[in-house]
Amino acid sequence: MSVDVKKKETLDSIFHAQGYTDYKWIDPAKIVVAQWVRMKCMFGCGEYGRGGACPPNTPSVAECERFFNEYTQAVILHFEGKMDQPEHRHAWSAKINTRLIKLEREVFLAGCERAFLLFMDSCCFCKECTGDRRTCTTPRMARPSPEAMAVDVYSTVGRFGFPISVRTACDQKMDRYAFLMVH
């Protein structure tokens, strides 16, 4: 069962009221889940094992795929950013993630009990993450990123016409994506 037209209109109103205009409704069956994404987390990401919402504190790739199969509607939200200094990325992400948690709550209160957000970057709320969900200081706010859930963001957003490319310098524009699973 998918989100009906009336509910979609309500959610679109919520998105616009909160300033979100660069997004698309998608069929979650078109989200690409891949083992290579998890391997990149394990062998290439400095946050692996240090973030409570990052692998290995996330479900297996097979469980991630099963999770996405439980949904019939989702939204991809696009964010552009440009940092003068690479260390500014986490503050930028934390600000956006804080707003996104509020959006998830609004969608839930609008009658979408399955609303679940995947941040557009790692959690970033705490200066020092405990690295363990059991000792997380913000467990109600912490969410995984799409990559932490084994989403091949490049292939997925490309399917829907969003821009994305590998950055070759830290001062280049970033295209980041959050996924809001609705129903």
What's the pLDDT tens digit per position in 143-153? 999 999 999 99
State the pLDDT at residue 163.
Answer: 95
Q: What is the pLDDT of residues 165-177, one digit of tens each?
A: 998 888 889 999 9
pLDDT of residue 130: 72
Per residue in 53-103, pLDDT (tens digit) is 889 889 999 999 999 999 999 999 999 998 888 788 888 888 999 999 999
Residue 4: which pLDDT band, with cuts at 50, 70 and 90?
A: confident
Cross-sheet strand order for the sheet of 116-118: 23-26, 74-81, 174-181, 116-118
Token pair listed for 85: 């200094």
Q: Exposed (0-12), middle (13-18) or buried (19+): which is 135, by Cβ within 10 Å?
A: exposed
pLDDT, averaged across the chain? 91
Does residue 125 surpass a pLDDT of 70? Answer: no
Among 60, 58, 59, 3, which residue's Cα sits nearest to residue 27?
3
Omega before 56 cis (within 30°)? Answer: yes
Average pLDDT over residues 108-113: 96
